Amino acid sequence: MLIMEKIQNFFLLLRYLLPGLGITISVTIIALAVGFFLGTIMAVIRVYGGRILSGLAASYSVIVRAVPVVVTIFILYFVIAEFINLTPFLSGTLALGFTSGAYQSEIFRGAILSVPPGQMVAARAIGMSRRKAVSSIILPQAIRLSIPAWSNEVTLVLKDSTLVYIIGVPEILRRAQWISARNLEPFMTYISAATFYIVITFLISQGLDFLERRYKVEM
């Protein structure tokens, strides 16, 4: 049966691609974590920092978002890695993280600004320092408010993670390329690769939708 054979073939392909899934997910998670760290810090600096610091953070955001991610990957891998020992995996992941940091700083900055100003005033009125008010009152609300925009960023980083294949990191797309060069069935192979991305994206958005409902803040 031709159909049965095709289906069997499809599952076989998925098995070949599976090791790439781990790498795709690691790249995505590490890049998001780096981006989250950079993004929250830069968002706080841009809203509450002095003129110079917030100017620096704003410039970072503008420049990094203007540069294509592939160029950032190349800069890290071919330039920076000359001086510091960076594996292709780290170069690619950090490049994605730096880029995501710029986008996430925009997301969190918008969210911080949408927390009503009375929240800061009330926090200061019970004796909190500015720093404490930001960390215990403003940020917890801002992060909840930014879940919808953030879940979009997660899927974007997941898809951008394919770009690290350019410097040879064996994630899903790279493996799909190897396989299709051997089995000469690009259609089936790339359909299998696409299936992985669809499934992960679906699971992530379900998970984040749940978080959004669970931690919704009504103003």
Partner 1 sequence: MEKHLGNEPILTIENLKKSFGELEVIKDVSLAIEPKEVVVIIGPSGTGKSTMLQCVNLLTKPTAGKIYLENQEITAPSINADKVRQRIGMVFQEFNLFNHLTAIENVTIGMTKVLGMKNTEARNKGMYELERVGLAEQATKYPSQLSGGQKQRVGIARALGMDPHIMLFDEPTSALDPELTGEVLNVMRKLALEGMTMMVVSHEMSFAREVADRIIFMDEGYIVEQGSPHKLFNNPKSERTRRFLSMIGSINREK
| Closer to partner 1 by Cβ: residue 125 or 191 | 125
Task: Output the CA–CA distances (angstroms, integers) from residue 136 to 132, 139, 141, 179, in the order listed.
Answer: 6, 7, 9, 50
In the bound complex, what is the minimum distance in angstroms from residue 213's beta carbon to partner 1?
14
Q: Which residues contact 126 (CB under 8 A, 6 or more apart)?
A: none
Position 217 contacts partner 1 (CB under 8 A)? yes
SS3 of 91-134: the string is HHHHHHHHHHHHHHHHHHHHHHHHCCHHHHHHHHHCCCCHHHHH
Q: How far apart are the first and last CA of the chain?
A: 60
| Closer to partner 1 by Cβ: residue 144 or 159 | 144
| Closer to partner 1 by Cβ: residue 119 or 152 | 119
| Closer to partner 1 by Cβ: residue 18 or 125 | 125
In the bound complex, what is the minimum distance in angstroms from residue 138's beta carbon to partner 1?
10
Binding-residue pattern over the window 142 to 181 for partner 1, x denoting contact by CB under 8 A: --x-------------------------------------
In the bound complex, what is the minimum distance in angstroms from residue 77's beta carbon to partner 1?
41
| Closer to partner 1 by Cβ: residue 57 or 107 | 107
Alpha-carbon span 19 to 154, nearest angstrom: 21
Are 201 and 157 a contacting pair, CB within 8 Å? no
In the bound complex, what is the minimum distance in angstroms from residue 17's beta carbon to partner 1?
41
What is the footprint of partner 1 within residues 42-101 (CB under 8 A)? none
H helix count then E strand count, the chain: 11, 0
What is the footprint of partner 1 within residues 109-148 (CB under 8 A)? 116, 118-119, 121-129, 132, 136-137, 140-141, 144
| Closer to partner 1 by Cβ: residue 50 or 118 | 118
In the chain, the amino acid numbered 135 is S
Q: Which residue, among 105, 97, 102, 101, has the nearest Cα to 44 in the 3D structure?
A: 105
Given the rule CB under 8 A, which residues bind partner 1? 116, 118-119, 121-129, 132, 136-137, 140-141, 144, 215, 217-219
